[in-house]
Each structure stands twice: as C-alpha cells, then as structure tokens.
Chains A and B, each alone.
Chain A
Amino acid sequence: MSQVSSGTGRDLRLVGLHKTYPNGFTAVHDLDLVVPQGSFFALLGPSGCGKTTTLRMVAGLETPTAGTISIGESEITATKPYNRPVNTVFQNYALFPHLSIAENVEFGLKRRKVYDSGKQVKEILALTELEEQANKRPGQLSGGQQQRVALARAIVNRPEVLLLDEPLGALDLKLRRAMQVELKRIQEEVGITFVHVTHDQEEAMSMADTVAVMNQGVIEQLGSPYDLYTNPHTTFVANFLGRSNLIKGTVVGREGTGDDAVVKVDMHGTIASIKASKVHTDSKDGWLGIRPEKVLIQPEGTAIDAPGSSIPGCVVTDASYLGVSTDYTVRMPWGQEIICFEQNTGRRGGLIPVGTKVDVSWRPEFAFLLDASQDAGAGRQED
C-alpha cells in the first residue's frame, strides 16, 4: 500500500464489512479495507473465499449484513446499485445479446442522459480497439472481443471505482496474458480505481499495485506483490502465492538489534538465521519457509554459492526438466522432501542425476518463519 499515494480523498473504504447468507454461511467476515484512489487493487483467493461477495457488496448487488462501504466522504452502503459511481465487468461479461456493441457500450450513458454519448462511445471503442465491431451483436464476437466490450461498457461511464470479477477467467492462457497487459495499459490511461477479483495469482501479481490475499472471508495479508511473495505472514499466503518449502523448526535464540536482528532456528540440528522482520510467530515452534527457487543444491564435495552452513546428506529423488528450469525434489536427512527450482543457466553443464547426494543451502535473508499452529498444507494448489 505504501507505493500508492493515499489521501486524494476518493478512496474506497470498507469498514467492518460482514456478510452472512440466510443459510448461515458467512462469506465475508468483518472486513476492513482501504483501496487508494487510482490504484490497481487485486483481491486474490481461492473460490469461496468471499472475494466475489465483497465485490458484489461494493457494486450494490448484495446487501452487507453489517459494516459500511464508502467512497471518499460519501457512504454508499445502502445506495441502490444504479445510483452508485461504480461499474462492474462481469465474469461472463453479461453483454446484452439484443443490442449492438455500440448500444451495449452506450447503455449506461443513455440511462444517465449524457448528451454527447455518441462521441464518448466512439472514443472508448477506439481505446479498446473495437471500432470495427460497433454494429455487430455480442454473439458474433470472439471471447477476447467480448471481454473488451464488457470493459468498454463499464469504463465509458467513468466510474470512481471499476470492479472486475474474474474478467479474464473465460479466456485461454495466451489471450489472458495479452489482456493482462491491455488491462494494465487501460487502467493507467484512464486512472480509475480498479478492484480486480481473481483466483489466478500470476494475474494478480502482474497487474496489481496492491494485492489482498483472501481466505475464508478474511484478508490474510495485504501488500505489494513483492512483499507478499518474499515475506508471507501465514502458511496460506506462502502456499497460495507461488510455492513454499515449510520445514519444522524451533526458535533457539535472538541476536542483534534493529534491522540486523535475526532469530536463530534449530531445524533438525542445523541452525538457520532468519531476519526478525520475516518472523511471524511468537511461539517456540515454527515453520521455516523457503521458496523453491531460493533453494541451492550442489553435488557433495563441491562448493555451494551461499554463506553460512549448508545441510549435507540430502539426496535428489526426482528431477523434471522444463527447458528454462529444472524442478528437483530433494530428500532431506530427516526424510522430508523439499522442492528446488533451478534456472538452466548452463553453469552446471547438465542435470544432476536422480540419486545423487547433494548439499542444500539458501541465503538466510530469503527464509521466513511462520506459526507452527497453522496448517502447512493451507492454500496449496493441486497441480
């Protein structure tokens, strides 16, 4: 949140937002959130985490059980959806099938009786490269074009906040990547606050200034993609955003002060130092986390490129070669298997064969320590 200047006055503010459905299911639990004006904000989480419900409450399509929603000084919690300065890009676009593309885009302007709507429609169709499709019906367009119509139909109204509900979910991978770049470009061009809901962590990270990771109706952690990835606070975030190796450890002591403070962790007999700013537990036990690409391995007896101690006696049990990188599975001396992604820079001149004994290490500044009471498998995605 720190990189985005706040205080321009028209931030989207959710306070104590709560939603319990009549069947007793609580989708959103006491949520507090500030989305700075003009930022590209992503709500990231697995399906059922409450991100879409949150979005629908902001749009006015769902009534909160408790809490308030405001934009700047104006509270809109009870405002009808058609009176809110908010527009939505729906998951499957929800384009009006009986209207042409131009009529779809003009729909909101006409309802508000904007007098030069024709000109504005033209401009937005140009921005989204849809001029040639203006007189076609939605059914005649490809998925990517329909996606752009949905976007054009919303931003033509110049809302204060644009809500995007899994807007790229229906597109194939290649188109999705192209549209991510496109969305980012359009957001920078129009300067509207974007709140983007997605379950695709790569999508969230590549576009958003700030990402809020949601799980079971609460925000687990909020921050820039870089902060979230390098310093996750919970096992859920560590596993949901990329992958993590979580190794059981016991805190044995602290050293240093200020920025240099480190926590010493005994990890099955090896002492690892973790920066105090990356320690997120008060208890004695914890999960030591390290990202797979930060794990370094080297066949026994050769020097390893990391300061401090390394763990000897590990064995490569699997290697899958992916071209740009190789995924190794390594069995640690205490039996746990960890993963290690290695860029194929050519430095090694080949792969490490399965069964090779290796030393494992990592730079201490990359490790983080999480609370041992959390489930080490939380947020892990099946793949």
Chain B
Amino acid sequence: MIATARKRTGYLLILPAAVWLAIFFVVPFYSLLATSLFDPEGSVLTGYDVTWHFANYWDALSEYGTVMLRSLWYAAIATFFCLILGYLLSYAIAFKAGRWKTVMLVLVIAPFFTSFLIRTLAWKMILADDGFVVNALQAVHFLGDDGRLLATPVAVVAGLTYNFLPFMILPLYTSLEKMDPKLNEAAADLYANPFTRFWKVTWPLSLPGVVGGTLLTFIPAAGDYINAELLGSPNERMVGNVIQSLFTTQGNYALAGALSVSLMVIIVTMVLVYVRRAGTEELL
C-alpha cells in the first residue's frame, strides 16, 4: 500500500511538467512532422494536405545541405573555443579565485541581465568597420586596409562563442569545484608531474562537465540564427536563418518543416554518439 502511494506521489510530481510538455512540445512536434510531409504544391489559397511527401526531405537536404554543414561547422568551432576559454576560466574560479569566487561567478552570469539580442547588437558595434578592434588589427597589419570583420565567418563564430560561453562555464565549474583537491595532492605524491596530474586526474573527473558544457553550447549554437543574421552576410547563413526565412517570408512550410526535423535528427544522433563515446551515459 505504502509503495503504491509513494509511486503515486512520484507520478503526481511529474504531472505538471508532463502536461506542459504534451501541450507545448509533443503536439507542436507532431504538427511539425506533419508539416514536413505536406504536399509542396499547397498554398495559403489551396490549403495544405499531408500527402506523406517524403521527397521534401530530399529537397531540403540537397538544396540546403551546405548551409546545414556550415551550421554544424560553426557550432563546432564555437564550442571548441568555448571549451578552451571556459575550461581555463572555470579552473581558475574553482581552484585559484579564493575569495573572489562568488564575484567571478556573478560576472559570468551577469550578461544574462541584458537581452541576447542587445548583446549581439553590441558585438556589431564592437566589430564594426571603423570600430577599435578592426582599427587595431589594421594597425598591426593583421587585417588589410579594407579588411573587415563584420559579415565574415570570424564575426559569426565570435558571436556564437561569446553568447554561449556561460553555458560552457557553469557545468565545467560545477564538476571542477566538487573535485577533492586532495586527489591532486595524491597524484603528486604518486609521482605524477603537473601535466600528468591534469590529464590523468583533473580532466577525466571533469568529463561530465565537459560533456554537459559542450552539449549546452553546441546544440543551441547549431540552431542559432541571431548571430548569423546580425554579424554575418548571406554567405554565413546558418540553417536557422534558412528555416526562419522559409517559414516567415517564403511560406514554404513543407521545406521548412523538413529542414527543422532534419536538424533535430542530426543533432540528436550526434549527441547520442558523442555521449556514448565519452562514456557519460548517466547524463542522459
């Protein structure tokens, strides 16, 4: 009796979230799937029919395959930079910051007090053609006299890196912070030099944070369209920009749906393979 009562409590606790997800995720997802199988001939005037038109997927991927690859590529580079920058910073906050720990963590989260859009617009100013970054790079001849950053892949990847860095830092910090500093001492005592200590002890123990952080960075970055929209040119279009434009301006719902579902399937597959290989299934 008690066991069943406990079980019922469990179900009751997940009920609100389950209802929420059913209404705002399962139903829209089903609708998205249906949209992706619309007859492409449909229009606002003639109406739309689900005709199980799987060729939509073929059309979407053959037409926008490069955009899709570019999205994954940009997201991967941004994730890589986030990992490097984020790991150094998390390590410093966790082990070296002392009494500045809290202040530094607040600073990591501080950008969230401003809108994502505004922050990205600010990057547009920072990287502007007559901005100090471009001027400085031109002064040291890193950029030519008419060289620019805005509307280049550099700007888009830099924007992605900046915007998703906190999502890398927080899980990394959490996993580093709970590491017992005695383990490092034990490794030192057992003939491991600082380099070996990092690769044999610190790094493996921070893997859950690395996996968590890279997922939280890569997944939203791959689907992002704000950075490419504001900092890039049509040459840097990402899949998010294409989907947005297909849906809102071109009214090609079938293709937009097929592209959305494709992106989702690709990312989920990549995540599964990645998590398997990292050996951190407990995260899922």
Contacts and interface: CB of A to CB of B under 8 A. Distances in A.
A77 interface: no
Interface string A60-97: 11000000000000000000111100111010101111
Interface in B188-211: 188-193, 196, 200-201, 204-205
In this complex, which of B187, B189, B191, B204 has the most chain A Cβ atoms within 10 angstroms of its Cβ?
B189
A153 interface: yes
A107 B188 CA distance: 11
B146 interface: no
A81 B189 contact: yes
Contact of B188 (A61, A97, A112, A153): A61
Which 10 pairs show the lowest CB-CB distances between chains A and B?
A: A108-B190, A111-B191, A94-B182, A94-B186, A81-B188, A88-B189, A82-B191, A98-B204, A107-B190, A111-B192
Given A94-B180, A96-B183, A59 B189 contact: yes
Given A59-B189, A154-B190, 5 more contacts: A94-B186, A97-B205, A98-B205, A108-B190, A157-B190
B63 interface: no
Contacts of B201: 96
B280 to A, nearest CB: 11
Contact of A61 (B185, B191, B193, B196): B185
A94 B181 CA distance: 9
A94 B185 contact: yes
A15 to B, nearest CB: 23
Contact of B193 (A82, A95, A96): A82
Contacts of A153: 190
Contacts of B186: 88, 90, 94-96
A177 B189 CA distance: 27
B188 A87 contact: no
Contacts of B183: 94, 96-97
In this complex, which of A60, A107, A108 has the most chain B Cβ atoms within 10 angstroms of its Cβ?
A107
A343 B192 CA distance: 54
A157 B192 CA distance: 13
Nearest to B185: A61
Interface of A: 59-61, 80-83, 86-88, 90, 92, 94-98, 107-108, 111-112, 153-154, 157
A36 B25 CA distance: 73
A107 B185 contact: no
A92 B185 CA distance: 12
Interface in B35-70: none
Contact of A107 (B182, B187, B193, B204): B187
A111 B204 CA distance: 17
Interface string B169-183: 000000000001011
Nearest to B196: A111
Contacts of B200: 107
Contact of B190 (A60, A87, A97, A98): A87
Contacts of A94: 180, 182-183, 185-186
A82 B182 contact: no
Contacts of A82: 188-193
A322 to B, nearest CB: 39
Contacts of B196: 111
Contact of B191 (A90, A95, A98, A112): A112
B189 A61 contact: yes
5 contacts: A80-B193, A87-B190, A107-B187, A111-B192, A157-B191
A92 B183 CA distance: 10
Interface string B102-140: 000000000000000000000000000000000000000
A154 B193 CA distance: 17
A81 B188 CA distance: 6
Interface string B142-162: 000000000000000000000
A60 B188 contact: yes
Interface in B220-245: none
B189 A87 contact: yes
A90 B188 contact: no
Contacts of B187: 96, 107
Contacts of A61: 185, 188-189
In this complex, which of A60, A81, A87, A92 has the most chain B Cβ atoms within 10 angstroms of its Cβ?
A81
A111 B200 CA distance: 10
Contacts of B205: 97-98
A60 B196 CA distance: 17
Nearest to B179: A97
A90 B204 contact: no
Nearest to B180: A94
B8 to A, nearest CB: 32
Nearest to A112: B191
A150 to B, nearest CB: 9
Interface string B234-261: 0000000000000000000000000000
A356 to B, nearest CB: 55
A47 B205 CA distance: 31
Nearest to A105: B190
Contacts of A59: 185, 189
A32 B255 CA distance: 82
Contacts of A60: 188-189
A94 B187 CA distance: 9
A154 B192 CA distance: 13
A23 to B, nearest CB: 13
Contacts of A81: 185, 188-189
Contacts of B192: 82, 107, 111
A88 B108 CA distance: 38
A90 B190 contact: no
A108 B191 contact: yes
Nearest to A88: B189
A90 B183 CA distance: 10
A88 B184 CA distance: 13
Contacts of A107: 187, 190, 192, 200
A90 B187 CA distance: 11
A60 B190 CA distance: 12
